[in-house]
Each structure stands twice: as structure tokens, then as C-alpha cells.
Structure 1
Amino acid sequence: MQAEELVNDPSREACVELTLDPLGSMSDLDAAIFAEPLRMTPADLVRLQLESSLTLDAIRAEAIRVEIAWQRDLRRWYEEGRVAVESGEPEVALLVRVLEGLRRQVLYGLGGVLTSLPGCLYVNHPNRIGDAEYKPAGLAAAVAAGFTLPPTLITNVPDDARAFLKQHGPAIFKPISVPLYLVDGKAQTVPVTEVTADEIDESLAGTMHLFQRRVDKVADVRVTVIGEQIFAVRIDSGLLDWRTDYGTHTYTPLVTPPVVERAMRAYLEHFRLVFGAFDFALTDSGEWIFIECNPSGQWAWMEPPTGLPMTAALADLLEGGLRAH
């Protein structure tokens, strides 16, 4: 309402007049837009203020939360990195935090793009690799696929571990996730190790451990599945863990038993993989005991001594994928 309309209002003291500044430049009155005064009662003001405050506060809070989290991370990463570099003596822990923050941006940015390519054949899809690398999930899938497995226990309870080792010994320990690290510039890993019940102490409670009955094997078998093609190689090394010394190996191509091939296909289908490197322990009775499947396993070192055309098989798989899409 215009201000003059309030003059004769019997309850004008109970009214509030709100006016807004003109929109536009006061130097150009023709272009300026003038807001009309607005007459409201105190009750209207209270109700409007309450409703608008609740709505705006919720919107503002969410926007601020997201913005603060994003800006906080970015500012911390870049500022800490700048300070560390300019100091001339950067703190290692600080630089690690900065690099980890930036790494995550690349992982979820570039990685997100690469995992979302339409009509693309992945060998294998990164998300499927992540699923299959969980060893407990792999063991469960192996049982469902029909493989033969040794008795296995995953636990952080010392008494349970001791009981398992006493019942199923000789037994071995192996990492649930394989850590890779460098020593003198050479890649290293944690080998499979035989373990007894009296070696278990309370420190085992700190994290999960995987124990299995040691398979009485005569050799190991690595089977590389590349699309529809299967390449099985017997590895004779005399070692508990053949990965610890490649210089001891002799390689012999094998034909995969049909029951094992069916189980491998079921396993790969479960995780939606087109490639898998399966490891088996071969017993003196000819039984293939499932150890694990690596969705990103190495294979190229076996091609020269065996003559198996694994590189050509991978090329065919990729080329067929391109044709199919």
C-alpha cells in the first residue's frame, strides 16, 4: 500500500511498512524500478519470518556445509603443499596428506570418467576388479562356483586361530590384501608362510588374518582366462609360495579339466569379469585345489617359455570388443 493509505487506518500502529530501494540507477529515473510499499501486520511478519527462516536456514545450511567441506579440503591441500614447498624443508607427513588429497581428486574425477565410458569393453572394469579383490568374497564365490577349497579361517580372535591350526595343521598364513612395496628398487610382497598354534599371540587381535590348511601339492597351476580362451600352465618349483623365486620354475602347458573350466566360467560370471588369473595347487591324485583368482594377474612372463599365444588372445579380445561396440 501507499503510505498515505495508512493515515486513516484505525490500526495503523499495528502495521509495518516495508519498502525496498529502487532497482537500477537513481541517475536514470526512467530506467529505475520502484518497489511498492508493502503493508503487513505483526502477525504476518512473525509467520513470514518463521516460515522463511526455516526454509532458508535449511537451504543455507546444506549449501554452506557442502561449500565448506569442499573449500576446506582444497584450501588445506594447496595451502599445506605451498607452505611445505616454500619452507625448503617440507614435512614428509604433510606432503603425504597433500598428495593423498590430490590423488583422491584424480581418482574420483578422472577415474569416474574412465569407469563411465559408454559401449566400452573393459578388461576388466575397475569396479568389478575392486569387487573381486576382496578375498572373503572371492572365497565365497569359489565355493558357489563348485571349486574344491582347503579349510579356511578368517579371524582376529587368537583362540579361534589356535584351535583352527591345531585341527587343520600343517597350515599357512597369507595376507587378505597383498601389500606391494619396494626394497632396493625391487618389488616385494608378503609371502605365504607356514604357521603353528604356538606362534599365535594376542597381537593377532589387532586385525583380520587368513589361515588355510596347507595343501599337500606336487605342483602349482596358473590358469589365465582371456575372454573365451584358457591357458593353463603347470609350475614346478618345490616352493611353498612359487612367487618367492621365479628362477626355480619350470613351466608345462596343461589342458584344463572340464569341471574346473565350468567353475572358472561361473566365478568370472559372478564378478562380471572377462579376464582372470586363477591359482591352483595340484595334488598327487590330480585334484585341482582352488587358491585364489586375481582379476589383474600377471601372465606375460609365462608366454616365452611356453609358447602360449596369450598376447594374441588379449589382442583378439580387445579387437572383438571394439567390433562388438
Structure 2
Amino acid sequence: MTVLILTSDQDVTADMAVVELNARGIPVLRLDPAELPGGVDVSGEYAHGVFQGHLSVGGRVVSMGGLRSIWVRRPGVPAARARAASAWLTEEASQALYGMLRCTDARWMNHPDAARQARHKPWQLWLARECGLPVPATLITTFPRVARAFAERYPDLVVKPVSGAHPGDGALAVPTTRVRPDEDYRDVAHGPTLLQRRVRKVADIRLTCVGDRLFAARAASGTPEVPGIPDIPDAADVVDVRFDPDAGPWRPVSVPRRVADAVHAYLTRSQLAYGAFDFAEDADGIWWFLECNQSGQFGFVEIETGQPIGRAVAEWLAGEPLGPHTPRVTETGSAGPAGSPRDTDPTRDTDPTHP
């Protein structure tokens, strides 16, 4: 049976899992919905109570009934590269492709419905707290007076986008930035603004979850705070690890049992098979939940830490172990293997899925 991977051609992270699957001899079909129709073609027949669907890529035809799993990795917008591209054709192509794939018995990483819900930051924050993860005080508002009142209660704030980078603009990544002390918050009236109490972090944590396996990594903050010395933000005070060249290096770290239990609960309730969690670790060792990206990259983690995340993904997609191997790092803690994050691409955790 075949593993279907929906992603762009130049996806190094997906390549890591493909290499593992190829080594095992497990058939893989990789396609980008942006190439539909033309480079990618679909066909589905509903007759006599039976559905039969087929996919074609580069002349290779695969039966949808023969799919063992579907990895919605980083697919392009359906029909985006079609000769007569249009919003109408995109909707038609999306309905056809994802509608047919939903008719299969394949396992999803992650199912389009679960992935769509998981993208909502307000819901993430609520679910994380429900599952027992510490969440910094957060406000999402378009009321300037409410923002000012929140800032009086929590004078040290950061501002970040509610949605992250826009799915249609992979080049757009808005960093998490500290709010100036003299901010009057009038601009929040122009659109929903997410304000959050700044965690005085000593490190960033990336926790990559593949099924029930956890890979955690830690990167010490590039500009540690010194107790007793005033810490005043300026206009360029970005606190986003993706934009901090002095952060790191990323190193494997054990997952605290309480965090592991909460993360497993989060994945179960959100129906995710894969999730990339970001935490800020404070001086007391508390991991504060920031977000969970249901299609976050892991390539930079594996490259920097040597953790076998690509193999773990491949095993989940295959539905079976891929045979004996020698881990490049020790998988620590009963919570699962260790893992980590790092990347030079600030857009690495945007979410351009269009199921």
C-alpha cells in the first residue's frame, strides 16, 4: 500500500521521511495540489455503491483505495499553477481532491478537519489550559480601552499575530515583539490584536510530537536577563527565537512528566497525529505554552540535534516499525524521545494548508 504526501516539491523536511520510507521499500506518492490539473490529475467514480478513485502524477497512477496513509505536509493551493488559474478552479480542484481522499480508509497526518481547527490560536490557548499546560495571560481585542486596562495589569507585554503568517503569503512572517511602555493602543481598533504577558524566558523549547512519541529540544536565550538591571524594550525588541541569531544551539532535553501528559491530552482532544509545540522556559523551569503548529517543520530540529524525527514520521505513516536502527541521540524520559527546534527560515512555521 502507498503513502501519499501532499507537499511542495522543495520540502526538505518531507524528504527526511521519504528517505526512510524508500529505504524500507514502502511505496510513496508525493504530489503538490498546486499542480492540479496538469502535473497532477484525479479521477473518481461512484457506481453500484462503490467508490473508486485514482491519482496520477508524472504518468504514475495510484488507486486511492490502496493508500495506507496521507500526510498533509505543506501542500500548495489547489490549481495555483494551472494554465487558467482562478479562485473558481481552486475551489473545484480542492473539492475534488480532498473530497475524494476523505472517501478512503487511509490514516491522516493530520486530517483536514482537525488541522483547520488546530490553526486557531484562541482555541489553542483555551485547549492548552484545559489540558493543564501553563499559559501566559493573553488578550485578543479590538477595544483600545480594554487593551490599556490589560496593560495596566500586565505592564510587560508582547504583541503577536492571531493567525501567524497568512496562508497565501509564505514570505510574510510577523515576529513576536515587545510592546513599548508608552503605547496608547489606539491601533488595536484596526484589527484583532493579540497581547500576551511576556515570559522572562531563559530558553525556548520546541516539542515535536509524532503519534505518542515526543522529541524535545532546548535553546538558551541569546540575551539572558540580569536580575536587578532594568529591562526597557525599544522599537526593535523582538523576542521571537526565529529571528534571534544568538539563540541556541538547540540540544535534546527530557520532557517533564506533567508536560508530557498534558501534551498527549492536547493531541487526543485536537485529534492530531502530529504537532510542533513551542514553549518559553522561565527561571523556575516552568514551560509556558505559546502555540502548537499542526504542520510545523522538524527538519531543522533533526539536523541540529540528530534526533530521528523523520524516521518516527515514516513509521507512523507506514503503520509499522521500519526495522532496527541506532539512534543518533539517546531518547530520554518515559515521556518519549528527546527533540528540538532551529531554522534560519523565519517562515518555517507558517501554515499554508488548503484542505
Fold equivalence (TM over 0.5): yes
Deviation at 1:245, TM superposition (A): 4.0
Within 5 Å, which residues of 2 pair with 1:151-300?
151-180=137-166, 187-196=171-180, 198-238=182-222, 240-245=239-244, 248-300=247-299
Alpha-carbon separation, structure 1, partners of 2:112 and 2:95: 12
In structure 1, the partner of 2:96 is 109
Whether contact under 8 Å (2:201, 2:221) holds in the other structure is no
Q: Distance in 2 between matches of 1:294 and 1:273?
A: 10
Partner amino acid for 1:107?
S
Q: TM-score of the superposition, structure 1-length normalised?
A: 0.64
Q: Which has the higher contact order (CA 8 A, sep 6+)?
A: 2
The answer to whether the 8 A contact 1:181-1:189 is kept is no
CA distance in 2, matches of 1:261, 1:305: 22
Which piece of structure 1 moves more, 238-247 or 290-299? 238-247
Q: 1:172·1:214 contact (CA, 8 Å) conserved in 2?
A: yes
1:126 Cα deviation after fit: 1.4
- Determine the structure 1 residue equivalent to 2:24: none
Q: Report % sequence identity.
A: 38
Output the CA distance in 1 between the equivalents of 2:211 and 2:291.
18
User: What is residue 337 of structure 2 aligned with on the other side?
Assistant: none
CA distance in 1, matches of 2:321, 2:303: 27
Distance apart, 1:178 and its partner CA: 1.0
Residues 182 and 228 (structure 1 numbering): CA distance in 2 closer, same or farther, change over 3 Å? closer
Which residue of the partner structure matches residue 99 of structure 1?
86
> Greater helix share, 1 or 2?
1
Give the Cα–Cα distance (whole angstroms) in 1 for the partners of residues 222 and 167 of structure 2. 25
Q: Which runs of 5+ in 2 are unaligned?
A: 1-83, 224-238, 323-355
Q: CA deviation at 1:233?
A: 0.3
Residues 160-215 of structure 1 show CA distances to partners (whole Å, capped at 9, x for unaligned) of: 001111211210010011125999xx834000011146424433212211110000
* Number of aligned positions between the proteins: 225
Q: Secondary structure at the match of 1:281?
A: strand
Q: 1:108-145 CA deviation, whole Å, 9 max, x = no partner?
A: 2222223x143211111111110010111111111110
- Aligned partner of 2:114: which letter? R
Rg (Cα) greater in structure: 1
Q: What amino acid sits opposite 2:300 in the alignment?
A: W
Contact kept in structure 2, 1:145 and 1:263, CA below 8 Å: yes
Deviation digits for residues 56-75 of structure 1, max 9, x if unmatched?
Answer: xxxxxxxxxxxxxxxxxxxx
The SS at the match of 1:255 is coil
Please give the alpha-carbon distance, in whole angstroms, between the structure 1 residues aligned to 2:119 and 2:135: 17
Partner of 2:343: none
Q: How far, CA to CA, are the matches of 2:91 and 2:321 in structure 1?
A: 30
Cα pair distance change 1:191/1:109, threshold 3 Å: same
Counterparts in 2 of 1:136 and 1:246: CA distance versus 1, 3 Å = same
